[in-house]
Structures are given as structure tokens and as C-alpha cells.
Homo-oligomer: A and B are copies of this chain.
Amino acid sequence: MTPQRQLVLDAVRDLGHATPEQICTQVQRSAPAVNITTIYRTLDLMERIGLLRHTHLGHGAPSYSEEKHQHVHVVCHSCGAVSEAPLDLLDGVVGRLRSDSGFELDVTHLALTGTCHTCQSTPPEDE
């Protein structure tokens, strides 16, 4: 565990959810020389050893968080707001896919998208 790696891990913990770019900015506050390449390499490494995970929120860069920080993400493609739903929200779907086709759903890796309550009155802007 090098200093850079510790900083990346700390940044992810501090930020909760963050894109590689955001993590980089955070790390560079205490160590400006750290390169974004290192961020990517470290995130990749930590994901492989099961320390971190990433979620695609739909649009741009993926969002990294700690492995244990698990829930289903629901994002509004009008305003971009991300909310978190309990893991069991998709239990029914998981069971159905498993028995129908043996497919093992990873409910934390995807985000569900749609339109949030407040944006339904507002004209949509799309993702």
C-alpha cells in the first residue's frame, strides 16, 4: 500500500461516490503531483481485489464507492439527481431472472433511470 493508494482510498471514503476525476481533484489537494493515471490504475486494482466497486450512473464517468456501500441507484435523466434505494427493491426481478434463465443480476452496478417527481412538471431535457 503506497502513499498514493492510501490517498485514493481515503478520497473515495471521504467522497462516498465519486468519478475518477473528482477523486483525482480530492487527492491532489494533499498531493498535487499525483497523476490521474495513478488514480485509474489504483481504482482498477482496488476493484479487482474487492475493496471498491463502480456504478454507471448512465451518462458520463462511472462512480466509485466502497464495496460495502451497496444500494440501488435511481437517477433522474432530467435533473441528474441520484437517489439510493434499498437493495431489496429488485429482489423480485432478481428471482425471476434467476429462475427463468439462470441470470445472476448485479443490482448495484447499474442505475435505474427515469424522471423524478419534481421534473415531471418541468419540460424534459433528456439525458
Contact = CB atoms under 8 A, between A and B. Distances in A.
Contacts of A105: 74, 112-114
Interface in A105-126: 105-106, 109-117, 120, 126
> How many protomers of this protein does the assembly include?
2
A102 B105 CA distance: 25
Contacts of A113: 105-106, 109-110
Nearest to A54: B127
Range, interface on chain A: 20 to 34
A117 B56 CA distance: 23
Q: Say whether chain A's binding surface is mostly helix, strand, loop, or mixed.
A: mixed
B110 A111 contact: yes
B93 A116 contact: no
A90 interface: yes
A114 B106 contact: yes
Given A90-B93, A126-B47, A103 B116 contact: yes
A120 B106 contact: no
A115 B90 contact: no
